[in-house]
């Protein structure tokens, strides 16, 4: 019983004493048949009574004790012991049925046939020598009939007296094997004229043995006894699995709103690196665990929790398939799957994703890039559900049944709601990130592009807002690479890049740029271009190449400006846009330079 009540442990092996009891039962039945078949004129009746006594007294008594002890420990322990005991009992029944089909039934058939012909009245193993000739005649007759059925009339007519003597000796040998209870089904079939396809695998005790097994477990699975126990366990196991998430979420909602939003990412599970709470520069480092794998946080969706829920459900499905009648398996699987989807959605993923979406509402705070990891894990959870559905559920539900259709509809509705939530989070996160970048650009000072001639830091490193934006863009890119597939990466990064391009086109027309400031601006645009280049999207590279050409407007001499605007890539831009940049040159207004390009 050690560990049997722990849902994180795999189900234990069947009780070793039960397995030993069944091994002893096999040995006793196999050995007793040799004696019974020698002593009693109707050995099949004696064998049936012996089996009934063993099942009703010895086996049933031990099973009741075993299951009672398990039930006192926990509901899960009871269900696991019930299932493993049923599996072990079915193995015993199948072994006994095989012995019956291969040994008991063929031997009894020989005896009954001989009795009907009046050749063997004393019993199967008590045939006197005076009956040997009659037995040989019986055997030869059965052999001839078998040959005739196979269309071998010519061969039958060729049997001579010597062959008859050989037939008699062979028949006695085969009958002796039947008497000992160890002959093969093939030998007996040849003796009694029974082909292997004529229900060769079903013996006289087949149905009786099935009833013995059913009677052992009837009180535990009859009606809805088993399903009530399984459903109660499943709900409790799910509640236990989601307890850390529920506790973390309750603590957040009981605290102040700001702390509640930050608390989503404060607790790490699954052995990942410890993450720090709060936002800021540390968020990038917390986006991944050792080995480049994103960390998991118990305050939101985790692959570990999703896998545990599916593991618990798969074990329940296996028990249902084992214990329920064949006609009720589909309804059993459907009922247990409805509990899974309801719990996974309404009590776990939907509330968690709603919390993440709420955490992105306050645009005054830097968006936590670990939100990309939540999107990744939620996608993993959806894929796991789909795999689980195909492998652990569909095989036990008829593909054309109404149960299957209802289950597919319920599963698709769950997946559709998750996908819709993830799309909302993704769009909101992109908007929050670009809004944060806009806030950084808003810290650009008017004198940043009119530096002193000895301000070498600005010439070499660019302005501080630019450096902060470039760093944030690199962090966005890394978070996307770690958390999204190629298609979603391109979509998110393209949205960020296009928004940044539009913002910079507006941003750079707000500042007067001196000759020295032009060099600083060129440096800034180079950093933006480098950061966007790491996205690996050609369309964005082309746009920021144009932005680099625009920055050259502020560093060329007035005489070369016309050539730059009329012959290069800038010639494709709207003339009003170009004029707006020219006007921001420090000498643009005093020399009337901008009017030259109207």
Nearest partner of 582 among 520, 562, 543, judged by Cα: 562
CA distance 61 to 56: 8
437 located within any domain: no
Tokens of 220: 């535990």
414/558 same-domain check:
no
Q: Is the Cβ–Cβ distance between 287 and 272 less than 8 Å? A: no
Q: How many CB atoms lie within 10 A of CB 406?
A: 14
Of 425, 456, 477, the residue that ends a domain is 425
Q: How many CA within 13 A on the CB side of residue 258?
A: 6
Evaluate if residue 104 carries a pLDDT over 80. yes
CA distance 124 to 38: 7
368/511 same-domain check:
no
pLDDT category, 485, cuts 50, 70, 90?
Answer: confident
Q: What is the pLDDT of residue 597?
A: 55
**Residue corresponding to tokens 């450096």:** 467
Evaluate if residue 143 carries a pLDDT over 80. no
pLDDT category, 173, cuts 50, 70, 90?
Answer: low
406/479 same-domain check:
no
CA distances from 546 to 539, 557, 565 (A): 11, 19, 11
Nearest partner of 64 among 18, 107, 29, 129, judged by Cα: 18
pLDDT in tens, 379-389: 999 999 999 99
550/421 same-domain check:
no
Evaluate if residue 206 carries a pLDDT over 60. yes
514 located within any domain: yes
Tokens of 214: 């059913």
Spatial neighbors of 345 by CB under 8 A, at least 6 apart, are 414, 417, 418
415 or 12, higher pLDDT: 415
8 located within any domain: no
CA distance 317 to 170: 53
7 located within any domain: no
CATH of the domain at 572: 1.20.58
Evaluate if residue 182 carries a pLDDT over 60. no
Q: What is the pLDDT of residue 160?
A: 43
Of 170, 192, 216, the residue that ends a domain is 216
Spatial neighbors of 408 by CB under 8 A, at least 6 apart, are none
Evaluate if residue 287 carries a pLDDT over 50. no
**Beta strand residue intervals within 113-222, DSSP E:** none
* Residue range 501-513: mean pLDDT, rounded: 92
Three-state secondary structure readout of 346-413: HHHHHHHHHHHHHHCCCCCCCCCCCHHHHHHHHHHHHHHHHHHHHHHHHHHCCCCCHHHHHHHHHHHH
133/276 same-domain check:
no
Chain CA centroid to CA 102, Å: 42
CA distance 413 to 482: 28
Q: What is the pLDDT of residue 180?
A: 43
Evaluate if residue 537 carries a pLDDT over 80. yes
- Per cent of the chain over pLDDT 90 is 49
* Residue range 209-220: mean pLDDT, rounded: 93
pLDDT in tens, 256-273: 554 444 556 654 443 333
Q: How many CB atoms lie within 10 A of CB 93?
A: 19
* Residue range 568-581: mean pLDDT, rounded: 83
CA distance 160 to 158: 6
Using a 10 angstrom Cβ sphere, with 0-12 exposed, 13-18 middle and 19 or more buried, the burial of residue 317 is buried
Q: How many CB atoms lie within 10 A of CB 198?
A: 9
237/327 same-domain check:
yes
**Residue corresponding to tokens 């007035």:** 558
Q: Is the Cβ–Cβ distance between 93 and 23 less than 8 Å? A: no
What value, to the nearest 5°, has the Cα angle with vertex 157 and ends 156 and 161? 90
Q: What is the pLDDT of residue 231?
A: 95
Evaluate if residue 309 carries a pLDDT over 80. yes
39 located within any domain: yes
584/452 same-domain check:
yes
Find residue 269's DSSP bridge partners.
296
Spatial neighbors of 520 by CB under 8 A, at least 6 apart, are 448, 449, 451, 458, 459, 462, 463
DSSP element (H, E) containing 296: strand 296-297
- Per cent of the chain over pLDDT 70 is 75
Across 11-20, 502-511, 551-560, 585-594, least confident range: 585-594
229/301 same-domain check:
yes
Q: Is the Cβ–Cβ distance between 415 and 339 less than 8 Å? A: no
Q: What is the pLDDT of residue 498?
A: 96
pLDDT category, 541, cuts 50, 70, 90?
Answer: very high
375/447 same-domain check:
no
167 located within any domain: yes
pLDDT in tens, 347-400: 999 999 999 998 888 888 889 898 998 999 999 999 999 999 999 999 998 766
Q: Is the Cβ–Cβ distance between 63 and 17 less than 8 Å? A: no
CA distances from 25 to 35, 42, 54, 426 (A): 16, 21, 8, 63
Torsion angle of C-alpha atoms 282, 283, 289, 293, degrees rounded to 10: -150
Our separate counts of H helices and E strands in the chain read: 26, 2
* Residue range 97-110: mean pLDDT, rounded: 88
322 located within any domain: yes
CA distance 177 to 555: 108
CA distance 346 to 25: 50
274/418 same-domain check:
yes
Of 170, 187, 216, the residue that ends a domain is 216
Host domain of residue 469: 442-597
Evaluate if residue 172 carries a pLDDT over 80. no
Torsion angle of C-alpha atoms 557, 559, 562, 563, degrees rounded to 10: -80
pLDDT in tens, 229-244: 999 999 999 999 999 9
pLDDT in tens, 435-471: 999 999 999 998 888 888 766 666 778 899 999 999 9
283 located within any domain: yes
**Residue corresponding to tokens 């969706």:** 301
Q: What is the DSSP string of 540-563?
A: HHHHHHHHHHHHGGGTS-HHHHHH
Q: What is the pLDDT of residue 59?
A: 95
In the chain, the number of structural domains is 3
Q: What is the pLDDT of residue 128?
A: 33
Using a 10 angstrom Cβ sphere, with 0-12 exposed, 13-18 middle and 19 or more buried, the burial of residue 338 is middle
177 or 51, higher pLDDT: 51
Nearest partner of 18 among 97, 74, 71, 81, judged by Cα: 81
51/196 same-domain check:
yes
Evaluate if residue 325 carries a pLDDT over 70. yes
Evaluate if residue 152 carries a pLDDT over 60. no
87/193 same-domain check:
yes
Q: What is the mean pLDDT of the chain?
A: 80
Evaluate if residue 279 carries a pLDDT over 50. no
């Amino acid at each position: 019983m050690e560990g049997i009540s722990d849902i994180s442990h795999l189900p234990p092996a069947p009780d070793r004493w039960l397995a030993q009891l069944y091994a002893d039962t096999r040995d006793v039945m196999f050995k007793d048949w040799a004696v019974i078949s020698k002593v009693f004129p109707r050995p099949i009746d004696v064998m049936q009574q012996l089996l009934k006594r063993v099942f009703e007294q010895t086996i049933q008594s031990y099973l009741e004790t075993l299951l009672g002890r398990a039930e006192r420990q926990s509901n899960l322990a009871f269900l696991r012991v019930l299932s493993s005991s049923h599996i072990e009992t079915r193995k015993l029944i199948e072994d006994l049925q095989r012995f019956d089909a291969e040994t008991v039934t063929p031997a009894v058939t020989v005896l009954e046939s001989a009795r009907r012909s009046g050749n063997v009245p004393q019993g199967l193993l008590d045939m006197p020598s005076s009956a040997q000739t009659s037995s040989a005649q019986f055997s030869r007759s059965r052999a001839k009939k078998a040959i005739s059925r196979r269309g071998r009339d010519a061969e039958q007519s060729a049997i001579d007296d010597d062959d008859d003597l050989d037939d008699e000796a062979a028949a006695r040998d085969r009958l002796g094997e039947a008497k000992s209870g160890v002959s093969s089904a093939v030998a007996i079939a040849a003796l009694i004229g029974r082909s292997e396809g004529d229900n060769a695998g079903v013996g006289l005790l087949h149905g009786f043995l099935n009833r013995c097994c059913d009677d052992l477990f009837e009180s535990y699975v009859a009606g809805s006894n088993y399903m009530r126990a399984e459903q109660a366990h499943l709900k409790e196991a799910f509640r236990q699995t989601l307890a850390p998430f529920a506790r973390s979420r309750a603590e957040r909602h009981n605290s102040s709103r700001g702390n509640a939003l930050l608390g989503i990412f404060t607790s790490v599970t699954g052995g990942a690196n410890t993450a720090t709470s709060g936002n800021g520069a540390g968020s990038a480092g917390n986006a991944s665990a050792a080995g480049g794998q994103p960390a998991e946080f118990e305050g939101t969706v985790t692959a570990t929790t999703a896998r545990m829920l599916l593991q618990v459900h798969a074990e329940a499905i296996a028990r249902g398939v084992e214990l329920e009648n064949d006609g009720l398996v589909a309804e059993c699987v459907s009922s247990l799957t409805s509990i899974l989807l309801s719990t996974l959605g309404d009590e776990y993923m939907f509330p968690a994703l709603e919390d993440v979406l709420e955490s992105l509402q306050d645009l005054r705070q830097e968006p936590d890039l670990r939100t990309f990891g939540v999107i990744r894990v939620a996608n993993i959870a959806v894929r796991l559900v789909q795999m689980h559905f195909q492998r652990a559920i569909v095989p036990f539900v008829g593909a054309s049944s109404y149960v299957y259709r209802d289950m597919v509809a319920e599963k698709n509705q769950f997946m559709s709601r998750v996908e819709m939530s993830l799309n909302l989070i993704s769009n909101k996160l992109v908007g929050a990130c670009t809004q944060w970048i806009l806030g950084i650009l808003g810290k650009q000072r008017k004198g940043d592009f009119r530096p002193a001639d000895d301000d070498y830091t600005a010439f070499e490193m660019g302005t501080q807002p630019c450096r902060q934006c470039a760093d944030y863009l690199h962090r966005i890119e890394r978070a996307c690479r770690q958390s999204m597939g190629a298609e979603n990466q391109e979509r998110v990064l393209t949205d960020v890049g296009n928004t940044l391009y539009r913002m910079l086109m507006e941003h750079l027309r707000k500042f007067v740029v001196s000759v020295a400031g032009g060099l600083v601006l060129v440096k800034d645009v180079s950093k933006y271009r480098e950061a966007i280049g790491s996205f690996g999207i050609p369309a964005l590279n082309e746009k920021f190449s144009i932005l680099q050409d625009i920055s050259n407007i502020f560093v060329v001499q007035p005489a070369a400006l016309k050539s730059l605007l009329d012959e290069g890539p800038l010639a494709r831009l709207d003339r009003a846009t170009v004029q707006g940049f020219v006007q921001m040159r420090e000498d643009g207004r005093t020399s009337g330079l901008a009017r030259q390009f109207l």
